[in-house]
């Protein structure tokens, strides 16, 4: 037998409900927080053991650890329940307005943190600047751009008319403040649902703006992003949750902002509605997640409370999702979780008794197959909370953070801590005032600084040259891939014209180009990681030789760890919609307006070249720029940290016994050695 929850009993058990349920769901993240605490203690001890220079490096690593905020982006269909799901995930039903749909590309970001992090509750709303607005007016958004290239003047004018109508309503609502607000931001120390609705919610249709209350959606037309900061007692570590609008908006503005949000996150949760789980209308959604590693995608099928018999229908829905992803080259073997934000929020709010009869029927049907075996001591609310899918979703998120971003930040910080600890330990070899040892040291402080300056300049110049070569080769490959795709598409177009003539509309998939761009991007990332690793390894060799001369020893007795590889974000920008993806009326009208094979070929090549230019520009320049900056920063930080350690050793080599007491901070060589060994032992397990 399976447990079947009694709703009347569960509604009265936890009047507030939030704390015990949310705490239970966050068990996986708590384990990660415990590991972070171990590293924090080790770094705090290191800052006490070292001198001023190594203390500064230890505090920087500590700040890096404390600022770690893994991010999760929720994407999906309009009306799939993403906002209600986030409300449940932060344990605050009703915080974010869920039944309104902003027309704009607003991303609402929740920054949740435990009280110990000292993050104050507050909100920040940023507005589009005037240039962004003007581009929308001039071009009509992405749809306008496509229509312009296709010569579909009627479609373009219709889009522009919609934008102009929206702009005029915004002017009337905001008055003279309209232009003044563009490019600005509003900050608040507190917020509630009414405040959020004022900035991001205009209603289901922006054409109804005049029928909604005056304050609702007051700034919605011009709001670009909303950041909400929350102190959540049950949250064991900082967590960022991004709520994105659906990608299928009128002007395709949401698609681009969603692409940017996914790029900035390491984990993507795709929220689907149980009644509409990946249909032919969701190809833009499938294209997005096809460019993210399967391990970094979780699919949450929401609204199973609206199914008649979840126990039967869920298996069918899962089968359709897997089949759709396979056909369209989506993630392989994704983790799919079924649940209900409605049940979760009702559990948190203690309002389970108000669920509709159909929802209760679905709940009991799902409980019969999904709930754990009957335990008479279990609170029925806990059972319903599990059935809602929130605990399972959080466990999937925790597993991926622990394996991905969490592991990387722990590894990076641990390697830095190990290098500091070994540097402090090496400094002890010169900290005993020994005139004979001191006489054998062949580098003066001035020579050390000059040597380190030369080493740093040589390393960075060499790395810059390597980056330039890698980027040049990458750009050439992108150009060749684009030309190859265009040549194949042109050949296919000619074959179509010869076989079926000009009256039959021709369609051609852009997925071949996306695959070529993606594979070249992955190769570029791999080459950059290899170059960064090689440059830091070569620098390490030189640094060890300098250190050996300072301690009058052999470099073989010393050890410096190089930083882990940088993360290469997914190339989701190649998923943006282009003309070939659309079955729009203007594409058909473009086709029927074009006459003559030669004209077809020329106009088609011009159209597709312009359409793919933005896609290739993003991964060839914008993404590549960010990655190269991060790679160079890794090398610079590594050199800077090792410089501080070597200068610390040099200071001790020159010091008198009295000065050594001031430099070392802790007297007693044996105690220091034992403390350092304890630190090394505690952080070593994170460095692999």
449 within a domain of the structure (yes/no) = yes
Q: Residue 411 class from Cβ within 10 Å (0-12 exposed, 13-18 middle, 19+ buried)? A: middle
Q: Which domain holds residue 628?
A: 434-654
Count other C-beta atoms under 10 Å from residue 682's C-beta. 17
Two structure tokens written together for 37: 């605490």
555 within a domain of the structure (yes/no) = yes
Residue 159's pLDDT is 59
Maximum mean pLDDT: which of 101-110, 125-134, 162-171: 125-134
pLDDT tops 60 at residue 202: no
- Give 347's contacts (C-beta < 8 A, 6+ positions apart): 10, 17, 21, 381, 384, 385, 388
Q: Is the pTM of this model over 0.75?
A: yes
pLDDT tops 90 at residue 313: yes
Maximum mean pLDDT: which of 216-230, 295-309, 551-565, 664-678: 295-309
* Residue in the block written with tokens 């999702």: 321
Two structure tokens written together for 112: 């949740």
Residue 81's pLDDT is 86
Residues listed for the chain:
688
10 within a domain of the structure (yes/no) = no
Which own/partner pairs from 658-665 qualify as long-range (CB within 8 Å, at least 24 positions apart)? 660/431, 660/433, 663/51, 663/431, 664/51, 664/431, 665/48, 665/49, 665/50, 665/51
- Give 508's contacts (C-beta < 8 A, 6+ positions apart): 489, 492, 493, 580
642 within a domain of the structure (yes/no) = yes
381 within a domain of the structure (yes/no) = no
Maximum mean pLDDT: which of 60-69, 324-333, 586-595: 60-69
pLDDT tops 90 at residue 97: no
pLDDT tops 70 at residue 543: yes
**Ramachandran region of residue 329, left (φ > 0), alpha (ψ -120 to 50) or beta?**
left
Average pLDDT of the chain is 80
pLDDT tops 60 at residue 224: yes
Mean pLDDT across 10-18: 43
Residue 208's pLDDT is 40
Residue 680's pLDDT is 84
Q: What is the number of alpha carbons within 13 Å of residue 412 lying toward its C-beta? A: 22
Residue 145's pLDDT is 59
Locate the DSSP E strands across 303-408. Answer: 335-338
- pLDDT category at 359 given cuts 50, 70, 90 is very high
Residue 279's pLDDT is 67
Mean pLDDT across 531-555: 87
Two structure tokens written together for 211: 């029928």
Maximum mean pLDDT: which of 430-444, 465-479, 565-579: 465-479
Which residues are 185's β-sheet partners?
126
Q: How far is CA 112 from the centre of its chain?
A: 15
307 within a domain of the structure (yes/no) = no
pLDDT tops 60 at residue 139: no
168 within a domain of the structure (yes/no) = no
- pLDDT category at 582 given cuts 50, 70, 90 is low
Give the chain's domain count: 1
- pLDDT category at 390 given cuts 50, 70, 90 is very high
pLDDT tops 90 at residue 593: no
33-45: per-residue pLDDT in tens? Answer: 999 999 999 999 8
- pLDDT category at 575 given cuts 50, 70, 90 is confident
541 within a domain of the structure (yes/no) = yes
263-281: per-residue pLDDT in tens? Answer: 778 898 999 999 887 765 5
pLDDT tops 90 at residue 394: yes
Residue 530's pLDDT is 97
Residue 40's pLDDT is 92
Q: How far is CA 618 from the centre of its chain?
A: 17
Residue 237's pLDDT is 93
Residue 47's pLDDT is 85
Question: What one-character-per-residue DSSP string does 116-184 give?
Answer: GG-PPPEEEEEE--HHHHHHHHHH-HHHHHHHHHHT-HHHHHHHHHHHHHHHHHHHHHHTTHHHHHTT-
- pLDDT category at 574 given cuts 50, 70, 90 is confident
Torsion of CA 187, 189, 190, 193, to 10 degrees: 0
Helix axes 623-654, 511-551, angle to 10 degrees: 10
pLDDT more than 90, % of the chain: 36
Residue 325's pLDDT is 87
**Ramachandran region of residue 309, left (φ > 0), alpha (ψ -120 to 50) or beta?**
beta
Task: Please check whether residue 155 is in contact with residue 585, taking contact to mean a CB–CB distance below 8 angstroms.
Answer: yes
Locate the DSSP E strands across 52-129. Answer: 71-76, 107-113, 122-127
Two structure tokens written together for 462: 């060499």
């Amino acid at each position: 037998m399976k447990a079947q929850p009694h709703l009347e009993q569960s509604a009265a058990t936890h009047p507030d409900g939030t704390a015990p349920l949310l705490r239970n769901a966050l068990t996986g993240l708590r384990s990660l927080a415990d590991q972070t605490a171990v590293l924090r203690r080790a770094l705090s001890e290191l800052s006490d053991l070292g001198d001023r220079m190594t203390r500064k490096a230890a505090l920087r690593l500590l700040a890096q650890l404390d600022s770690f905020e893994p991010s999760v982006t929720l994407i999906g269909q309009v009306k799939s329940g993403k906002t209600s799901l986030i409300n449940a995930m932060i344990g605050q039903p009703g915080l974010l307005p869920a039944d309104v749909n902003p027309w704009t590309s607003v991303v609402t970001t929740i920054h949740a943190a435990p009280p110990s992090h000292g993050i104050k509750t507050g909100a920040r709303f940023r507005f589009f600047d005037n240039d962004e607005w003007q581009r929308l007016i001039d071009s009509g958004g992405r749809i306008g751009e496509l229509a312009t290239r296709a010569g579909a003047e009627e479609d373009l004018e219709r889009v522009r008319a919609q934008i102009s109508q929206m702009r005029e309503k915004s002017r009337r609502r905001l008055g003279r403040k309209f232009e003044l607000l563009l490019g600005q931001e509003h900050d608040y120390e507190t917020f509630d649902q009414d405040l959020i609705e004022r900035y991001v919610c205009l209603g289901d249709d922006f054409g109804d703006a005049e029928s909604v209350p005056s304050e609702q959606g007051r700034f919605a037309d011009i709001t670009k992003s909303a950041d909400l900061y929350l102190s959540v007692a049950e949250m064991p570590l900082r967590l960022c949750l991004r709520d994105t609008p659906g990608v299928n908006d009128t002007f395709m503005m949401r698609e681009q902002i969603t692409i940017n949000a996914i790029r900035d996150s390491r984990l993507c949760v795709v929220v689907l509605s149980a009644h509409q789980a990946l249909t032919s209308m969701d190809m833009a959604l499938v294209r997005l997640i096809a460019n993210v590693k399967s391990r970094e995608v979780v699919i949450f099928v929401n609204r199973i409370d609206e199914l008649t018999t979840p126990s039967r229908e869920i298996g069918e829905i899962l089968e359709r999702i897997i089949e759709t992803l396979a056909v369209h080259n989506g993630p392989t073997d994704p983790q799919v979780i079924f649940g209900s934000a409605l049940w979760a929020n009702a559990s948190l709010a203690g309002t389970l008794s108000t669920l509709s009869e159909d929802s209760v029927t679905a709940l009991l049907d799902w409980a019969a197959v999904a709930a754990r075996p009957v335990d008479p001591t279990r609170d029925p609310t806990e059972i319903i909370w599990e059935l809602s899918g929130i605990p399972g979703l959080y466990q999937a998120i925790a597993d991926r953070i622990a394996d991905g971003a969490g592991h990387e930040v722990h590894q990076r910080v641990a390697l830095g801590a190990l290098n500091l600890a070994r540097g402090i330990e090496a400094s002890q070899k010169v900290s005993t005032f020994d005139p004979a040892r001191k006489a054998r040291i062949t580098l003066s402080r001035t020579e050390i600084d000059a040597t380190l300056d030369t080493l740093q300049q040589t390393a960075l110049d060499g790395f810059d040259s390597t980056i330039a070569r890698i980027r040049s080769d990458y750009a050439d490959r992108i150009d060749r891939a684009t030309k190859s795709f265009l040549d194949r598409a042109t050949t296919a177009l000619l074959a179509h014209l010869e076989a079926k003539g000009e009256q039959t509309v021709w369609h051609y998939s852009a997925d071949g180009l996306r695959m070529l761009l993606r594979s070249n991007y992955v190769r570029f990332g791999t080459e950059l990681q290899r170059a960064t690793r090689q440059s830091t390894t070569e620098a390490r060799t030189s640094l060890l030789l300098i250190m050996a001369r300072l301690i009058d020893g052999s470099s073989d007795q010393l050890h410096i760890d190089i930083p882990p590889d940088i993360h290469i974000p997914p190339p989701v920008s190649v998923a943006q919609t282009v003309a070939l993806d659309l079955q729009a009326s203007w594409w058909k009208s473009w086709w029927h307006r074009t006459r003559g094979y030669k004209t077809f070929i020329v106009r088609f090549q011009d159209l597709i070249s312009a359409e793919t230019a933005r896609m290739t520009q993003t991964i060839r320049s914008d993404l590549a720029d960010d990655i190269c900056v991060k790679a160079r920063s890794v090398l610079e930080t590594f050199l800077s940290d090792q410089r501080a350690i070597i200068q610390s050793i040099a200071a001790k080599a020159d010091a008198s016994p009295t000065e050594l007491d001031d430099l070392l901070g802790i007297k007693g060589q044996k105690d220091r050695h034992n403390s350092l060994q304890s630190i090394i032992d505690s952080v070593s397990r994170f460095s692999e």
